[in-house]
Structure 1
Amino acid sequence: MKHLKLIFITFLSISIFVSCSSDDTVNIDPETLSPLEAYEEFDIAYGSDSEQVFDLYLPPNRNSDTKIIILVHGGGWTSGDKTDMADIAEIIKLQLPNYAIANINYRLADEDNFAYPMQINDITSVVDYLENNQDIYTISDDIGFIGASAGAHLSMLWSYAFDTESQVDMVCSIVGPTNFTDPAYLDNPVFQELSSAFGITLTIDFLEEMSPYHRVTSSAPPTILFYGGEDPLIPSSQGMDMSDILQELNVTHEFNFYPSEGHGWGGANWIDSVIRLKGFIETHM
């Protein structure tokens, strides 16, 4: 997603007030954090691991109905950083100025720490942190997700299977894996990353357990999907099959397919994606 900055840099303006915290609790006097003013806080710790941090962007003139968009980066579950989603955060600030943003890091998988359920647990911790401090930040407990690649997988999986309080208003998948039992995915080179990240014998039951396609229900939140037809990592069937099951379950959704694009894109198609995502968020959040 780093290439997005080249497209939108001329449109972006940044007004930043910074406060850094490494503590698990908010050490802010709520009377000094005016909801009339924009506020930004970086590397907020939501756990004891150094990777369990997120950046928070709060809009001016917010109130208890101000909703939060959570950004989840990609990187094959083993790499990546919240900075990869920084350009999307800036686009949201410009195009959707009434929304709060949480741009998160999560613990990366390695040979001793498997991605699932560790990274799902991290998302739960972020959501709990925001909910526990919503009065201080002057935000609601309604959230939306925008995830890219592996982050899109995590966003969908959490929204479909782990949102026990029905807090998610919408979820966006940008080239995210959806179905790990799809033969087209099993034969794809990225599956080797999956085997490494999850570090166990991948049974069909386990693959289904961590597949949004197999966990989605008719109560799933509105979902918007973006996929490229020439993606070398994510077969186009991942997006198409997800759209089909959402249609079968009568879940509000939108499927956007760019036949000539790969694992991410720029130019006119990215501008089209931004416009479509903006409209979807405004409609469903």
Structure 2
Amino acid sequence: MGKAYLRTITGSLFLGFVLLLFSCQENEDPGLDARVAIDLLDVKYSEDRSNQLMDVYLPANRNPNTTKVFVWIHGGGWVDGNKSEFKGFRPWLEEVQDDFAYVAINYSLYNISQGTNRFPTQEEDIKKALAYIKSQLPAWNVSDYVVLAGGSAGGHLALLHSYKNNEDNLVKATVAFFPPTDLTTFYGFSAFTNLLLENIMGGNPTNRKENYFNGSPLNFVDPQSVPTVLFHGDKDTVVPISQSKILEEALIAKNIHHLVEYVIGQGHGFSPQTNKELIGKMQGFLDGVLE
């Protein structure tokens, strides 16, 4: 009787231990296996608005010592576009980049019909996105070497964050394709530009002078600014090439490492072959400054 009772108790304890063990294993967060490539799509970086999403592409065999992070901000005049734009650039990047993770960001777009999400809503979204990325670096098993890039309005936002809001030095270099850099001088380029800026900025450079100043990357270049890459076509009828040239002058004056190339005969958007060539040149520059 005593032995049977002990066997029952022992068996119950063993069964309880096994159930507890399996329960712990099932509830345990396995983390993100750094040995395999993982795509994290539509990741929320803030709960403020529904569009605050990012796609994260983590490479296989990544580690926090060598795996850099390339962040892309889409264009669209601050009123259109989304993070899917990055899909066109990704193959060209992967051809020349080794051991990079990629992040493509959405941000709140200005709503023309409702007049909502005026600037600096977009700037604030990029700040939130970069803060979220920083918080996730250990979980993603990647380094804090971040390159912030974008085209057109995305290039403007990349430059603005890199020069103005990079207090934690997370961004180590910035890349911009045909970006607006000084909203005050950008105003007046065309009737379309004036209408767009007056709506987004809440007025013109005279009655909203501070808004235009604070939204212009050019005004925040200083001797500590990050290395910068600029590409602009000389036939650009959307953002004049002068926007990159005035920024180039400021980078030279402040002795900032930079690569600038003006593409002859092309406008606001380059051919696939040109994009491929420019991205190769960009990576050659980044390899030198991100060692």
Query: Which residue of structure 1 aligns with residue 46 of structure 2?
Result: 47
Q: Residue 143 of structure 1: CA displacement?
A: 1.1
Per mean C-alpha deviation after superposition, the further-off stretch among 139-148 and 226-235 is 139-148
Query: Which residue of structure 2 aligns with residue 17 of structure 1?
Result: none
- Equivalent of 1:265 in 262, 267, 270: 270
Q: Which runs of 5+ in 2 are unaligned?
A: 1-26
Indicate whether 1:223 and 2:225 are aligned: no
The 5-angstrom pairing of residues 242-261 of structure 1 reads 242-261=247-266
Query: Which residue of structure 1 aligns with residue 284 of structure 2?
Result: 279
Residue aligned with 2:229, SS: strand
Q: 1:58-80: per-residue Cα shift (whole Å, max 9, x none)?
A: 11111112221110000110111
Residue aligned with 2:55, SS: strand
* Higher helix proportion: 2
Query: Which residue of structure 2 aligns with residue 156 of structure 1?
Result: 159
**TM-score under structure 2 length normalisation:** 0.83
Asked whether the 8 Å contact 2:197–2:203 carries over to 1, the reply is no
Asked whether the 8 Å contact 1:30–1:136 carries over to 2, the reply is no
CA distance in 2 between counterparts of 1:218 and 1:83 reads 34
Q: 1:131-182: per-residue Cα shift (whole Å, max 9, x none)?
A: 2222211112331111100000000000000011111111011011001122
The 5-angstrom pairing of residues 48-63 of structure 1 reads 48=47, 49-63=49-63
Query: Which residue of structure 2 aligns with residue 194 of structure 1?
Result: 197
Residue aligned with 2:260, SS: strand
Query: Which residue of structure 1 aligns with residue 81 of structure 2?
Result: 80
Q: Residue 268 of structure 1: CA displacement?
A: 4.0
Larger radius of gyration between Structure 1 and Structure 2? 2
1:105 alignment partner AA: N
* CA pair 119-267 structure 1, distance change in 2 beyond 3 A: closer
Percentage identity across aligned positions?
A: 27
Q: Residue 270 of structure 1: CA displacement?
A: 2.6
The 5-angstrom pairing of residues 79-98 of structure 1 reads 79-98=80-99
Q: Residue 206 of structure 1: CA displacement?
A: 2.2
Per mean C-alpha deviation after superposition, the further-off stretch among 184-193 and 139-148 is 184-193
Per mean C-alpha deviation after superposition, the further-off stretch among 60-69 and 144-153 is 60-69
Query: Which residue of structure 1 aligns with residue 219 of structure 2?
Result: 214
Asked whether the 8 Å contact 1:227–1:258 carries over to 2, the reply is yes
Q: Residue 32 of structure 1: CA displacement?
A: 4.3
Q: Runs of at least 4 residues of structure 1 off by over 3 A?
A: 28-32
CA distance in 2 between counterparts of 1:81 and 1:257 reads 26
Q: Which runs of 5+ in 1 are unaligned?
A: 1-27
CA distance in 2 between counterparts of 1:168 and 1:130 reads 11
CA distance in 2 between counterparts of 1:101 and 1:141 reads 13
Q: Residue 204 of structure 1: CA displacement?
A: 2.8
The 5-angstrom pairing of residues 97-116 of structure 1 reads 97-110=98-111, 111-116=114-119
Q: Residue 255 of structure 1: CA displacement?
A: 0.9
Residue aligned with 1:235, SS: coil
Q: 1:85-126: per-residue Cα shift (whole Å, max 9, x none)?
A: 211123223331301111010111124433422111111111
Query: Which residue of structure 1 aligns with residue 172 of structure 2?
Result: 169
Asked whether the 8 Å contact 2:93–2:279 carries over to 1, the reply is no
Per mean C-alpha deviation after superposition, the further-off stretch among 31-40 and 184-193 is 184-193
Asked whether the 8 Å contact 1:68–1:142 carries over to 2, the reply is yes
Per mean C-alpha deviation after superposition, the further-off stretch among 134-143 and 236-245 is 134-143
Q: Residue 232 of structure 1: CA displacement?
A: 0.6
CA distance in 1 between counterparts of 2:236 and 2:225 reads 26
Q: Residue 29 of structure 1: CA displacement?
A: 6.4
**TM-score under structure 1 length normalisation:** 0.84
Asked whether the 8 Å contact 1:149–1:177 carries over to 2, the reply is yes
Asked whether the 8 Å contact 2:150–2:175 carries over to 1, the reply is yes
